[in-house]
């Protein structure tokens, strides 16, 4: 009988492998070796790799929602909220990894339809949340209105995703630059 935490351990290791190698660069055998179980045991929890990836994205999305709720409760200004959002990516940068969504997006054409949709939902939610913060900041006078909030949000998400890739490739932090330039673009002067 499998341990109740086996599924979580599998998700943890799968996330690490995807963020470091990519979705197509690991197998159930890699997971089985890491966890110390048989590949058949993995199929018990996740019948296919697509099922594993979809479950992983559902967990990742749930974690995002918890973080966004925490940020909403604790940050007093829209700038603080955006800074806190950017720090979420900073944790990944410190691990010399790339965002789970960014890694999966790179392999999009080989993902199952449910997994593609899960990645899309995550990225859409992130962009919508950032856009809302920008809209609120413009409405309150905290930010200057220099473009459509949705476009500005897409720019930030793209900068963060690309920044993680460059940070990993160059072995040096990049997200501070993304944050500084993005927040300067919203400054009221």
How far is the C-alpha of 89 from the C-alpha of 164, rounded, in Å?
8
Q: What is the pLDDT, as a whole number, of residue 119?
A: 97
Q: What is the pLDDT of residues 158-181, one digit of tens each?
A: 999 999 999 999 989 999 999 999
> What are the structure tokens assigned to 164, written together?
């993680």
pLDDT at 2 over 60: no
pLDDT at 15 over 50: yes
Question: What's the pLDDT band for 1 if we cut at 50, 70, 90?
Answer: very low
How far is the C-alpha of 107 from the C-alpha of 22, rounded, in Å?
8
pLDDT at 6 over 60: yes
> Smallest Cα–Cα separation from 153: which of 91, 92, 78, 94?
78
Q: What is the pLDDT, as a whole number, of residue 38?
A: 94
**Sign for the pseudo-dihedral over CA of 11, 15, 17, 18:** positive
Q: What is the pLDDT of residues 47-81, one digit of tens each?
A: 999 999 999 999 999 999 999 999 999 999 999 99
- Burial status of residue 65 (CB atoms within 10 A of its CB: 0-12, 13-18, 19 or more): exposed
Q: What is the pLDDT, as a whole number, of residue 188?
A: 87
Residue with tokens 């950032």: 130
How far is the C-alpha of 13 from the C-alpha of 115, rounded, in Å?
18
Q: What is the pLDDT, as a whole number, of residue 3?
A: 57
**C-beta separation of 149 from 126 below 8 A:** no
**Structural domains in the chain?**
6-186 (1.10.357.10)
Neighbours of 188 (CB within 10 A): 11
pTM value? 0.92
């Amino acid at each position: 009988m499998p341990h109740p935490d086996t599924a979580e351990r599998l998700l943890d290791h799968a996330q690490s492998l995807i963020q470091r190698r990519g979705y197509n660069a690991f197998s159930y055998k890699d997971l089985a070796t890491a966890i110390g179980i048989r590949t058949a045991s993995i199929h018990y929890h996740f019948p296919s790799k697509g099922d594993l990836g979809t479950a992983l994205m559902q967990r990742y999305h749930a974690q995002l929602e918890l973080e966004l709720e925490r940020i909403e409760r604790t940050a007093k200004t829209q700038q603080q909220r955006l800074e806190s959002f950017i720090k979420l990516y900073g944790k990944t940068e410190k691990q010399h990894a790339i965002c789970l969504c960014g890694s999966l997006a790179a392999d999009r054409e080989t993902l199952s339809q449910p997994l593609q949709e899960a990645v899309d939902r995550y990225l859409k939610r992130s962009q919508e949340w950032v856009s809302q913060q920008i809209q609120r900041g413009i409405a309150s006078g905290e930010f200057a209105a220099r473009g459509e909030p949705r476009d500005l949000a897409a720019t930030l998400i793209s900068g963060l995703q690309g920044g993680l890739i460059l940070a990993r490739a160059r072995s040096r932090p990049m997200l501070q630059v993304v944050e500084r330039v993005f927040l300067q673009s919203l400054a009221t002067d």
